[in-house]
Structure 1
Amino acid sequence: MQLGGYIQALARGLDVVEQCAGITRAQLVEMGARPDFAEKLLGLHAVYFGDTMFRSRQRKARRTGHDVFTLLDIERYCSKLKARKAWELRQLLAATPREKIPMVAKAKLKEWRPPRDPDPGVRVTRRAGRNHTLSITDSSLNISKLLAVLKTTDKDLLTAAHTVFRGGGGSGQKLQSNVIVRLDELDRIVDGDGEEIELQLTNGATMTGAEFVREKLADVGLITLVHPHHGPVNLYMASRFANTKQRLALSAEHPTCAWPGCNAPAEDSQIHHLTRFQDGGPTNMANLVPLCAYHNAVNDDDPEKPTGRGRLDRIDGRVHYLPPWAGPPIPIESPAHPPRSAPGPARASTDPPASGPPDPRTTPRGTPAPVSGAPPHNSGEPPDPPPSS
């Protein structure tokens, strides 16, 4: 074949591809094609003439007049997408002038495949015989805070990092930066939408209005924003986690896990919010109680995921167990509260309950009595309902 004929054949694009029907890779190589080019030709035939659930787009894409090499360029872009989007892009590029294909393809890929936010973490890159790299990925706010510590430790940030990592310097500097608040954002904060506002800091970080308040007033606990004309705007809770003083005081009230019958030490327990933090429960003494990890998990405080194990609540200043069978609240033993002479409901009632927990006083001899009607620790199952009255 003369050079002109060869070039004309490649320029016919799909005409060449269509003639690959029923031909194997070995046959194409025998005809003189390089093995990798033979693979690519067969791949184009499978795309434009093979079976697919996107037949309508396939027919429209076959109207293209692009040459073989342009078709291969189109596949390079389409290979980065899943089938449905790949066919949408293939049909678009098949009708796009060759010189505009890179621009159109990159714009669509950017639209359909936004850059993935890297996962937070610490990564090490090791290079044989060369310097290694320690990289930290976190939110813009946290990275700005780490950088602020380094900058206040030493002008040379590498020296500062060595100093901080070895236990010197690094006093946990407060964030020092201007916060930019537009007037329209201020209006939204006044309307109670401050949680959705993203503020831009002059050090390159971003934070919500609530994060900024917590950063500046983290030791206060509860912060109310008050507008000079509109009055109180919003109330923020500074921390979800109990501080050291709160943990010590809670451990004094309940030296062990507060779930009835559990002896897990309070110092090994988690601090549980009686009213869930996500439901607005504050991190204060009245709303906290120590629970071991197991009973913190089975405590029935999530209306969307009931466990059937009952839950804890504080009534008249004392933690009580509320059984799942709607019996009377059962007070939890605590050195902070005087023991009762006999177990009974938290409040007197003249109407007997329709049903209640098993009475320990009627438990047959030799059978361990349940503690105040509560399920045993690590039973793995919710307690049996009381017998019908």
Structure 2
Amino acid sequence: MSGSVLDTLAGFDKQAALDAGIEPGKVRDWAKLYDVYVAPTTAHRQQARAVDLVRRGTFSLDQLALIERRLDAVGARERTRTRLDVLEELAAARPGSYQSFARMLKRLVPVEQVAPSDGASFSRSRMGKRTVTVTADERDIADLEHAVTRGIDPDRPAGPQLAANFVRIMRGDGSQAGVPCAAPQPLVLVPAPELAKVLNDEADPNEVRFGLTDGTTITGAEYLARYFSNPAYGVRVAVFHAEDGAVNLYRGERCANEKQRVLARAANPVCPVPDCRHGADSCEAHHIVAWKHGGETNMRNLAMLCRYHNRTNDDDTHRKRRGRIENVRGAPTWVSPRGYAVPNNYHPYGAMQTLFGR
């Protein structure tokens, strides 16, 4: 980890390190160090000089990784020269602890302070709680702080009182309207007739027809009206097939209609990428086979993805960088670049899991 770090990096393989269970952030750091100190380069003299300084300074991998993270803020043209200057200074000074090393590095490579951008982020649920973080104009945040601190009891912990005042203001304190409470709308999930085959309904492209094993056919509407539907219930009913999932409407328009969005949200209540916590209500309708590649706007080809994963999905099947969403037996599922299907168990209550146990 110190004197022989460059010998260790000589045999570095990123994928092998990931497969060995090494923390991905550390693997990325080591891959960057490999590119700087070991990988073939046209700047032979500069690389040899850097290697010599590393050996003289007996830096650890973590120290070298910290240097590279600090150099990210330096322009590409100046980075090599700055790296050599920093290594020479640190090799001569030999700071003891990692903290001393970091403090000296901070003086050697000052980074211009950049004002944070406005933004907001929301955490995943944890035991019924969530956290929101907001960055905005200091005057607006100061006004909010003043509002939530008014009237708190100084003899009691401030945190719970601030949270309670924030929620009260958010919901409306009587003088003005606040954020409305969500009103869940019930959706009855009904499995399609056993052994039925899903067919196109040529008379109505918005309908689905089942081919039954007795040789007859029946539309989804007829099936529900005969066996399940009752207007007095005041609920909506959705049919899911054990293999095809929810099926409706074939290629007619790019944007999913409201009926498709309801069924898609039932199929995956959260973005299907593993550990993503974004609920389907705030997600975008995604074409599993990209629209530009002829993908149809039907239920088998739709999934609800959060804004980020909808843009990082590998739409081109030959590009295997970030993984892609595929329809696995009726359920939108993330498939890794190496071909492994991994469900998102953050919210395991999608229609296919609820009805068919997967």
Give the greater-gyration-radius structure (CA): 1
Same fold (TM over 0.5): no
Flag the structure with more relative contact order, 1 or 2, with Cα contacts below 8 A and sequence separation at least 6.
2
